[in-house]
Amino acid sequence: MMRAIGIVLIAAGAIAFMASQDDGVATAPVVVEAESKIEPVPLADRAEAPGSFLQQRVARVDAGIPCPDGTFLPPLNGVRPGDPIPAMRREAYMAPLGDVVGMWTDEDGLAWWVFEDGSAVSTRWVTIDVADGSTVTTVRLDQMDSMGDGFAVAGGR
C-alpha cells in the first residue's frame, strides 16, 4: 500500500512538473575552442612587479568572467571573452563580492582582479597532462575568497 501511494505521488508530481514547464531549451554545453588558446602574458611584458597592487576601478562587461551576480568581468592573462571561462562562485554563507578595486600581480607576473573585501580572481590558459597520456587545454579560473576568521562553523566546507 505504501508503495502504491508512493508510486502514484511520484507519477502525479512528475506529470505536474512536466506540465508546468515552458518549452525551454537546455543550456548549451560549453565548447572548448583549442584554436583560441593564447599563452599567458609573461612577466617581462608587464610593467607591474610581482606582489604589486594597482588601484583601479573596472566596469562590468557583456562577456568574460561570469560573476555570481550575473555580470561579467574582463578576463585576464590572454583569456578572451569568448573562451570557455568557468564561473566564479560564492556559497550561500558568503557575502557578495562587491566592486573590483584593483589589480594584483602575482609571483608569475599574472594579473588578478581584487574585490572590495579582499577576494581576488584570475584566469589563464593551462594544459593539463592526463594520466592516460593525453592532454587537456582549457581556461583555468582561480578564485581566492577572503573569509576573515568569523566563519566557524556550521556545515561541511
Q: Which of residues 65-124 bind other proteins (CB under 8 A)?
A: 68, 83-87, 89, 91-92, 94, 104, 106-108, 110, 112, 114, 118-120, 122, 124
Q: Indicate whether 24 belongs to the interface with other proteins (CB under 8 A).
A: yes
Among positions 136-155, residues that touch other proteins (CB under 8 A) are 136, 138-155
> In the structure grid, which three cell numbers stand for residue 73, read together?
568581468
Q: Of 73 and 122, which CB lies nearer to other proteins in the complex structure?
A: 122
Rounded CA-CA distance 128/111 in Å is: 21
Q: Indicate whether 54 belongs to the interface with other proteins (CB under 8 A).
A: no
Name the DSSP letter for residue 107. T
Q: Of 44 and 152, which CB lies nearer to other proteins in the complex structure?
A: 152
Q: Indicate whether 38 belongs to the interface with other proteins (CB under 8 A).
A: no
- Kindly give, in sequence order, each residue whose CB lies less than 8 Å from that of residue 20, ignoring residues fewer than 6 positions away: none
Q: Indicate whether 63 belongs to the interface with other proteins (CB under 8 A).
A: no
Q: Of 38 and 151, which CB lies nearer to other proteins in the complex structure?
A: 151
The label of the residue with cell 589589480 reads 103
> ∠153-154-157 over CA atoms, to 5°?
80
The label of the residue with cell 585576464 reads 76
